[in-house]
Each structure stands twice: as C-alpha cells, then as structure tokens.
Structure 1
C-alpha cells in the first residue's frame, strides 16, 4: 500500500506542480542575478515546496476554515498574484530593464507560491487529506500519511532537479534570449492569472449558496414596470 499511495500521489501532483513551467519562470526572473544566488533560490524553493505541501495536507483545511477562505477565493488571489508578476515581466520598469536586485528573494513567491504550489495544487492536497480522513478504520493511517510525506519529498526533489536545469539554459540563451524569454513568459503568466480568476469566478457561480442568494435578491428586488 505504501508504494501504491506514493505512486498515485506523484501521478496526481506532477501535472499540478508542473516543474518545467516554474523553470521557465525562474529563467525570466533570474535575469541579472548571480549564479550562486540563483542556486540558493532553487534550493530554498524545493524546501519551501515540501513544507507548503505538508502544511496544506495536514492543516490546510483548518487554516482556510479559520480565516474563512474558500477555494475559489484562493484561486482568485493566486490568479491576481500571477497576473501581476507576469505584467511586470512583460512590461519591465526602466530601472528593472537595466538590471535587478541580486539579493531579491524569489524562492517562496513566486516560485513556490503560486507557481508550483498554487491554488490548484493546494486544493488537490486538501481534498486528498479529506478523503484519507474519511477512509474506514481498517486502513493503516500511519502508512498512508508516511507515503504522502514521501511523495511530497520526491516531488520536491524532482522539482529541484528540473529547476537546476535553468542555469545551463540561461548560459545557452544569453542576455538577448533571456530578455525574449522573460517577455514571453510574462505574457503566459498574465494569461494563466486570468484563467485562474475565470476558474474561481466559475466556481463561485456554480456554488448553490450563490444561486440561492441570487434567487432571493431577484424575489426581494422590485420588478420594473
């Protein structure tokens, strides 16, 4: 059961985390940074990813309930963050165009959140934790939880390996290639952010509570002659 849970968890997480997309984002954000600083950010991003996945799995649902945050709200917030970052990459300010702060930290935001562990990944992990909690008592919970933590560690290790490839690609493209890649990735991030917002709005519109409120508002509001 341990290996089966690890395999299924990795299979579900891989398309959601999508390390190659984050590697492309790193390629655009690391323009002007030293290689040592980029390597440090990659190492931190892998650690942050593991910690964020574990926190989302064990107490993510409680945190959202504590602050009254819904999954659609999480998607909308993530979409706005991604869109803002993409807009800055697509239209850099004059001060940013000549160079970036070599001490800028990008490991947690945006590499870990919302790129690798965005609203979709967190929703998947939280829903998986809820399903495991509802399993019959004869299932070994310790084995399942250990397998999930192992899957999170392997996913973080795989993401770290993919992000490490951004450095040789950076040397291959050169300054002009990186600038073009930065603007292309910025446009894609704006599109991704808008799609996150659209998905969040769709989920709100499909919520039964939203329909009940809309119907009640229609009944209470006076009809126009």
Structure 2
C-alpha cells in the first residue's frame, strides 16, 4: 500500500506542479542574477515546495476554513498574481532593465507559489487529505501519511533537478535569447493568470449557494409588497 500511495500521489502531482513551466519562468526572472544566487534560489524553491505541500496536506483545509477562503477565491488570487508577474515580464520598465536586483529572492514567490504550488496543486492535495481522512479505520494512517510525505519529497527532488537545468540553458541562449524567452513566458503567464481567473469565476457561478443568494437578492419580499 505504501508504494501504491507514493506512485499514485506522484503521478497526480506531476502535471499539476509542472516543473518545466517553472524552469522557463526561472529563465526569465534570473536575468542579470549570478549563477550562485540562481542555484541558491533553486535549492530554496525545492525546500519551500516540500514544506508547502506538507502544510497543505495536513492543515491546508483548516487554514482555508479559518480565514473563510474558498478554492475559487484561491484560484482568483493566484491568477491575479501570475498575471501581474507576466505583465511585468512582457513589458519591463526601462529602469528595471538597467537596475537588476541581483539579490532578489524569487524562491517562494513566484517559483514555489503560485507556479509549482498553485491553486490547482493546493486543491488536489487538500482533497486528497480529505479522502484519506474519510477512509475506514482498517487502513493504516501511518502508511498512508508516510507515503504522501515520501511523494512530496520525490516531487520536490524532481522539481529541483528540472530547475537545475535552467542554468545550462541560460549559457546556450545568451542575453538575447533570455530576453526573448522572458517576453514569451510573460505572455504565457498573463494567459495562465486569466485562465485561473476564468476557472475561479466558473466555479463561483456553478456554486449552488451562489445561485441561492442571487435568487434571494432578486426576488421581492412580500413584506414590501403594497396591499391592494
């Protein structure tokens, strides 16, 4: 059962985390940074990813309930962040091109969140935790939880390896290639951010509670209706 949990969780996380997309984002954001600083950010991003996945799995639903945050709200917030970052990459300010902060930290935002551990990944991990909690007592909780944590560690290791490949790609592309890649990735990020927002709005529109609230607000009450 342990190996089944690890395999299934890893296969489910791979398309959601999507490390190659984050590696492309790293190429655009690391322009002007030293290679040592980029390697440090990659190492931190892998650690942050593992911690974020564990937090979402064990206490993610409690945090969302504590602050009354829904999954559609999480998607909308993530979409706005991704769209803002993409817009800055697509249309960089003239001052930013000359004054690059070589010590800028990009490990947590946006590499870990919302790129690798975005709303979709959080929703997947939180729903998986809810499904495990609903299983009968005959299933060993220690085996299930240890399998999930192992899958998170392997996912972080795979992401670390993919992000490490961004450094040799920078050498091949050069300054002109990195600038072109930055603008292309900026456009894709704007599209991804808008798609996240669209998905969040669709989920809100399909929520039965939303329809009930709209009907209650649009239906006139009998108290305000004048009697003949």
> Would you say same fold, with TM above 0.5?
yes
Residue 70 of structure 2 corresponds to residue 70 of structure 1: yes
TM-score (norm. length: structure 1): 0.97
Is the radius of gyration larger for structure 1 or structure 2? Answer: 2
**Retained in 2: the 8 A contact 1:39–1:164?**
yes
Q: Spell out, residue by residue over 1:120-151, the C-alpha distance to the aligned partner (whole angstroms, 9 max, x if none).
A: 00000000000000000000010000000000
Residue 41 of structure 1 aligns with which residue? 41
CA distance in 1, matches of 2:72, 2:158: 28
After TM superposition, the runs of 4+ consecutive aligned structure 1 residues lying more than 2 A away are none
Residue 85 of structure 1 aligns with which residue? 85
Residue 58 of structure 2 corresponds to residue 58 of structure 1: yes
CA distance in 1, matches of 2:96, 2:65: 39
CA distance in 1, matches of 2:189, 2:5: 32
Residue 27 of structure 2 aligns with which residue? 27
CA distance in 1, matches of 2:220, 2:202: 25
State the aligned residue count. Answer: 222
Residue 142 of structure 2 aligns with which residue? 142
CA distance in 2, matches of 1:195, 1:96: 27
- 2:139 is paired with a residue whose SS is coil
CA distance in 2, matches of 1:96, 1:182: 13
CA drift at 1:99: 4.4
Q: Which runs of 5+ in 2 are unaligned?
A: none
Residue 131 of structure 2 corresponds to residue 131 of structure 1: yes
Query: What value does the CA root-mean-square deviation take over the aligned residues?
Result: 1.0
Residue 115 of structure 2 corresponds to residue 115 of structure 1: yes
Q: Spell out, residue by residue over 1:73-124, the C-alpha distance to the aligned partner (whole angstroms, 9 max, x if none).
A: 0000000000000000000011112241000000000000000000000000
CA distance in 1, matches of 2:179, 2:173: 9
CA drift at 1:220: 2.4
TM-score (norm. length: structure 2): 0.96
Residue 158 of structure 1 aligns with which residue? 158
Residue 219 of structure 2 aligns with which residue? 219
CA distance in 2, matches of 1:158, 1:78: 23
Q: Which runs of 5+ in 1 are unaligned?
A: none
- 1:5 is paired with a residue whose SS is helix
CA drift at 1:153: 0.1
